[in-house]
Amino acid sequence: MRKILVALLSIFGFGQAVARPPDQTPAPVTSDLRSMVLNLSPTEIGLSPQNFPHQAWGMVMETGMDAGYYTLVVLADGTTSLYFSTGGGVIGAGEKAQVREASQQFIGWGNRLLGAAHPAASMQPPAVGQTQFFFLTFDGVRSYAAPEAELGEERDSLSPLFHAGHAVIAAVRQARP
């Protein structure tokens, strides 16, 4: 995963807002990044139950909007990225201390609330107004979906996870140059 991120960073610029490349449409880039993360094996990033003693080693939070959706990715190896289905985003944000701290809290909430998730039957992007979480675990991908408004207004049991994810997004935005 690090090799892939380094390659992407060299294309897009380390920790910078990702500009739309002139010769490539954004949808395939973000679709490929999303697919890569959702199909990632923990061993590809050096994680095992022995060196990371928690079930969920990664979290993906996505929310559908009128113009597409955004994807927040947080992995236990320190990887934190935010990208948009319409193009652009931030890759490599986990290098910043405040982002790393918020990301660790997000994974912590994911592990606390893992029992609410079910094996992922579909990995389709979210519909408008829906937020979905993908819990990347040593036993496979689990998921949970709810209306964004229910999560945001604390009317859902996974509201703390939603707010922890938004704390990561806030830290990413604050860390940008």
The pLDDT value recorded for residue 30 is 80
pLDDT of 8 above 50:
no
pLDDT in tens, 105-129: 999 999 999 999 999 999 999 999 9
Q: What region, left, alpha or beta, does residue 29 occupy, with left being phi > 0 and alpha being psi -120 to 50 degrees?
A: alpha
Q: What is the pLDDT of residue 172?
A: 95
The two three-digit tokens of residue 81, written as one number: 């990225």
What are the sequence ranges of the domains in the chain? 2-46+55-175
For 36, list phi and psi in degrees, rounded to 5.
Answer: -60, -45
Residue with tokens 């199909």: 39
Edge-to-edge order in the sheet of strand 80-84: 89-90, 80-84, 68-75, 56-65, 130-137, 140-147, 118-119
**Phi–psi pair at 37, nearest 5 degrees:** -65, -45
What are 59-114's pLDDT values in tens digits?
Answer: 999 999 999 999 999 999 999 999 999 988 888 888 899 999 999 999 999 999 99
| Dihedral angle over CA of 108, 38, 93, 43, nearest 10 | 80
On the question of pLDDT at 177 being above 90, the answer is no
Given pLDDT bands bounded at 50, 70 and 90, which one contains residue 27?
low
